[in-house]
C-alpha cells in the first residue's frame, strides 16, 4: 500500500469515526471469514459496519477525527464496529455472537458520543431494549391515556343508553306514569292561583279610589242655609219699633 492509498484509508476511517454515534473495539483473533461475514450481516439492521484495519492507520485516523480516546484501545489485533444507528442493537448483535462463540470477539472498549466506555458498559448496552422496542413502548404510553378516555366515554354513553331504555320500558309497563313530568309542575300552578284571585280585588279598590278622586265638586251643594228661628226678630220689625212714624208724632 503506497502513501496515497494509506492516506485514502486514513480519510475513510476518520470519516467513519466522525459519522458514528459509537465505536466498539473488539479483539478479532480467531474469527474466520465466514464468521465475519455473518457478523456483518447481523449488524446491518443497526446501520453498523464491522471493519478490521491496521492500528497505525487507525491511530492517524483517530487523530484526524479528534478522538484521542480510541488510541488507547488500538493495541493488538483490533477490529472496530462503527455504529451510525441503534447502539443497543449493535452491542446486542456483538454480544449474541460472543454467546454463540464464547472465545471470539471479546470487548476491548469504545466510545459513545465521544465519551469513553469500557467492556462492562458495552455489555450493559447490549441488554437494553432496542430503539424500535423503545419507540413501541413510547407509543403505547402516549396512546394509553387516549384509549382509556375513549373506553370511559364509550362506557358512559352505553350506561346512559341502558338507563334511557329502562325508563322507556317502565313507562310502557305503567310503572312510571306517562304524565309524571307535567304533575311535577302542578304545585307551582296551585301557588299561582291565590295571587291570580287577589289581583281583581286590588283592581276594584284602585277603581273606587279613582272614582272618588274624579267626582266633580258642587259649590251650591256644600253651602247650607241656616234656618230662621222665631227668637230672632226680623230686620224690618226692629226698624219699625225704633223709629216712630210721622202719623204717631202728629
**Tens digits of residue pLDDT in 37-73:** 999 999 998 999 999 989 999 999 999 999 988 999 9
Please report the pLDDT score of residue 162 as a whole number. 73
Task: Return the number of other C-beta atoms located less than 10 Å from residue 110's C-beta.
Answer: 27
Please report the pLDDT score of residue 1 as a whole number. 76
Task: Return the number of other C-beta atoms located less than 10 Å from residue 173's C-beta.
Answer: 8
What's the whole-number average pLDDT of the chain?
Answer: 73
Cell readout for 95 is 454480544
**Taking CA 47 as the corner, what is the angle to CA 49 and CA 77, rounded to the nearest 5 degrees?**
20
Please report the pLDDT score of residue 22 as a whole number. 94
d(CA 197, CA 203): 11
Lowest mean pLDDT among 28-37, 92-101, 203-212: 203-212
SS3 115: strand
Amino acid at each position: 500500500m503506497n502513501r496515497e492509498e494509506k492516506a485514502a484509508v486514513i480519510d475513510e476511517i476518520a470519516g467513519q469515526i466522525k459519522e458514528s454515534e459509537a465505536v466498539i473495539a473488539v479483539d478479532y483473533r480467531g474469527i474466520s471469514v465466514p464468521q465475519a461475514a455473518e457478523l456483518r450481516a447481523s449488524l446491518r439492521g443497526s446501520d453498523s459496519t464491522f471493519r478490521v484495519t491496521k492500528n497505525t492507520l487507525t491511530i492517524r485516523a483517530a487523530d484526524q477525527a479528534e478522538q484521542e480516546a480510541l488510541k488507547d484501545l488500538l493495541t493488538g489485533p483490533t477490529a472496530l464496529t462503527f455504529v451510525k444507528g441503534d447502539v443497543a442493537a449493535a452491542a446486542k448483535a456483538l454480544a449474541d455472537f460472543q454467546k454463540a462463540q464464547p472465545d471470539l470477539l471479546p470487548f476491548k472498549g469504545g466510545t459513545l458520543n465521544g465519551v469513553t466506555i469500557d467492556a462492562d458498559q458495552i455489555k450493559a448496552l447490549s441488554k437494553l431494549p432496542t430503539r424500535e422496542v423503545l419507540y413501541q413502548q413510547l407509543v403505547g404510553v402516549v396512546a394509553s391515556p387516549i384509549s382509556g378516555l375513549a373506553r370511559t366515554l364509550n362506557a358512559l354513553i352505553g350506561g346512559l343508553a341502558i338507563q334511557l331504555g329502562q325508563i322507556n320500558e317502565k313507562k310502557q309497563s305503567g310503572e312510571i306514569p306517562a304524565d309524571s313530568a307535567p304533575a311535577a309542575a302542578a304545585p307551582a300552578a296551585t301557588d299561582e292561583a291565590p295571587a291570580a284571585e287577589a289581583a281583581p280585588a286590588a283592581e276594584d279598590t284602585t277603581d273606587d279610589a279613582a272614582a272618588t278622586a274624579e267626582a266633580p265638586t258642587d259649590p251650591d251643594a256644600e253651602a247650607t242655609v241656616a234656618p230662621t228661628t222665631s227668637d230672632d226678630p226680623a230686620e224690618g220689625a226692629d226698624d219699625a219699633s225704633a223709629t216712630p212714624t210721622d202719623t204717631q208724632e202728629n
